[in-house]
Chains A and B, each alone.
Chain A
Amino acid sequence: MSKALPRSFTDFLYPTVPFVAVVVAWEGASRGGLIAPYLLPAPSDVVAKLVEARASLLAHTLITAVEIVLSFLVALVVGVALAVAVVYVRPLEKAVYPWIVASQVIPKVAIAPLFIVWFGFGLAPKVIIGFLIAFFPILVDTVIGLRSVEAESIYLMQSMGAGRWLSFLRLRLPNAAPNIFAGMKVAITLATVGAIVAEFVGANEGLGYILLFANGIVDTKLLFAALTLISLLALALYLVVGALERVVIRWHVSTRSQPISFSA
């Protein structure tokens, strides 16, 4: 009979065990000659590469991070603004919304080269591609959130003398906040995809560029180092959005830590 471990410890322990196991097996396979190191470098070699090229890798990481954050912010502003327009302006909903939805069948990755032609090699095409990929979930989720308001809640606001603006600010917008955050969480990962793809098609800096470059010279250590950084960057950005969500919508079911109840 063993004493139960504290919950916070097991929460940490359970996902850590398989991670460590995989890394150890990988290290062993690579060192033991099971897999050629130029195909799959040992984790320790990747870490060594990360340390060795840290200054240059950090600079490229920052460039990609700026691209991701900018495309995400543009997607957030445009996505929410478009959603408000679609919900409040009936003709716009009929005329524009179906086309925005339909346009999503175009693989944005496929039109990325076009943006390089149009906007060149700078920051602009990366942000535009990232934005195009990321804004859609924010738009769709925000539209749903803004619409999911009971007619009676609107009546309540009207009986208090609230006009459309106050009803929006005090009712529709906070009501949509959980949906907006759901969209933002998808969008931040899509913005990462967008930035990397944009760097693939035309860039001379950033982690996507490093990936292509390392691939070209078959430097798999560098390739894995860049992959590691992209993953860590995406994870960090996702966690930031998640933390923001927990602060802003503490009240929502999805973020409540434990049910509390009183009886009448």
Chain B
Amino acid sequence: MGDVGEAVHASGVRKSYPSRTGSIVALVDVDLSIKSQEFVSILGPSGCGKSTLLMIIAGLVPATAGTVHVGGRPVVKPITDVGIVFQRDLLFDWRTVLGNVMLQAEIRKLDRKKAQARALALLEQVGLGGFSDHRPWELSGGMRQRVALCRALLHEASLLLLDEPFGALDAMTRDEMNLDLQRLWWTERRTAVFITHSIPEAIFLSDRVIVMSPRPGRVVAEIPIELPRPRTLAIRDGDVFAEYQRQIRKVIETMDVLS
């Protein structure tokens, strides 16, 4: 647990919710180990508890049983050395694009000048250079989620948690977002945990793909992805990529998820 180079460690994590008909078990005996600077995707069908797992890692939702360590320290309350991108962009309409990114700096009381320079640079990098004074509602879904990504990166946290951030976007925008994310992660290496239900997206982005079963969620497979980086969209047409896809689909089919 105090292992140097281990960023996230979960052991025996279990989560159940009370309900009228007894309790709903969302996660059972989840063990995870994520290395520092590793990009890991957690892949699973809807409702398998993968988002819940991410929230447990972030300390935002308590686990019913088991322990989680982040950066060697046990998670007992919301961790703050983290940047989170949620399914929905959660931009505040009353703030400008820059203001939304700067929220991170304001709450953390970071040096304003430095933070603003970094915010503008990040926006520039995702192609939103000219939009810093715009309001969120003037932006498309993809642009909004890019702003949310910049907000999560601003403070250079060592851990980046992404909860199906591109799930609501169209396929073409999604491809662009994957490229942007890879580039940003590649230039400022950090640990990233990415939740998705898209097999190609998981392979494209990750060093390792963790496959979860339907509810109650368990880890059923871990597949290291050994594709060279930086990856281009064309890599998805290659045989190696296709082989990974086949391999993951087989895992999922044996769980009887896709039928």
Interface set of A (CB-CB < 8 Å, partner B): 150, 152-153, 155-162, 166, 170-171, 174-175, 177, 249, 251-253, 256, 260-264
Taking a contact as CB atoms under 8 Å apart, the answer to whether A152 and B58 are in contact is no
Give the nearest-CB partner of B79 in chain A: A159
Q: How near does chain A come to B103, taking the closest CB pair, in angstroms?
A: 7
- Residue on B with the closest CB to A159? B84
Cross-interface CB contact of A150 among B90, B141, B142, cutoff 8 Å: B90
Most buried by B among A150, A159, A170: A159
Contact between chains at B108 and A262 (CB < 8 Å): no
Decide if B88 is an interface residue (CB 8 Å cutoff): yes
Number of residues of chain B lying within 8 A (CB) of chain A: 34
B82 at the interface (CB under 8 A from A): yes
Minimum C-beta distance from B62 to chain A (A): 13
A251 and B104 CA atoms in complex are apart in Å by: 20
A35 → B minimal CB distance (Å): 53
By a CB distance below 8 angstroms, the chain B residues around A252 are: 93-94
Structural contact, B108 and A171, CB atoms closer than 8 A: no
Q: Determine if B86 and A155 form an interchain contact, defined as CB atoms under 8 angstroms apart.
A: yes
Closest chain B CB from A145 CB (angstroms): 12
Query: Interface of B with A (CB < 8 Å)?
Result: 55, 58, 60, 78-80, 82-84, 86-88, 90, 92-95, 103-104, 106-108, 131, 134-135, 137-143, 173, 176
Chain B hits for A262, CB < 8 A: 131, 134, 138-140, 143
Report Cα–Cα, A159/B148, bound state, in Å: 14
- Residues of B near A263 (CB, < 8 A) are 140
**Could you jot down 30 A-B contacts, CB within 8 Å?**
A150-B90, A152-B86, A152-B87, A152-B88, A152-B90, A155-B58, A155-B84, A157-B107, A159-B78, A159-B79, A159-B80, A159-B83, A160-B104, A160-B107, A161-B80, A161-B107, A161-B108, A162-B107, A170-B107, A174-B94, A175-B92, A175-B94, A252-B94, A262-B131, A262-B134, A262-B143, A264-B140, A264-B142, A264-B143, A264-B176
- Beyond contacts A161-B108, A170-B103, A253-B137: 17 other A-B pairs, Cβ-Cβ < 8 A, are A152-B87, A155-B55, A155-B86, A156-B86, A156-B90, A159-B78, A161-B78, A170-B107, A175-B94, A251-B135, A251-B137, A260-B138, A262-B131, A262-B139, A263-B140, A264-B142, A264-B176
Between B84, B87, B94, B142, the greatest number of chain A beta carbons within 10 A of the residue's beta carbon is seen for: B94
In the complex, chain B residues whose CB is within 8 Å of the CB of A260: 138
Distance to closest chain A CB from B68 (angstroms): 15
Best-surrounded residue of A160, A170, A171 (most CB of chain B within 10 A): A160
**The residue from B87, B94, B108, B140 contacting A249, defined by CB atoms under 8 A apart:** B94
- Nearest-CB distance from A177 to chain B (Å)? 7
B58 and A159 within 8 A (CB): yes
Distance between B12 CB and nearest chain A CB, rounded to angstroms: 24
Query: Which residues does chain B contribute within 8 Å of A171, judged by CB atoms?
Result: 92
B79 touches A177 (CB 8 A): no
A166 contacts across to B, CB distance below 8 A: 107
For B92, the chain A residues whose CB sits under 8 A away are: 171, 174-175
Also in contact, A159 and B82, with CB within 8 A (given A174-B92, A177-B94, A252-B93): yes
Query: With A and B bound together, what is the CA distance between A174 and B99 in angstroms?
Result: 14
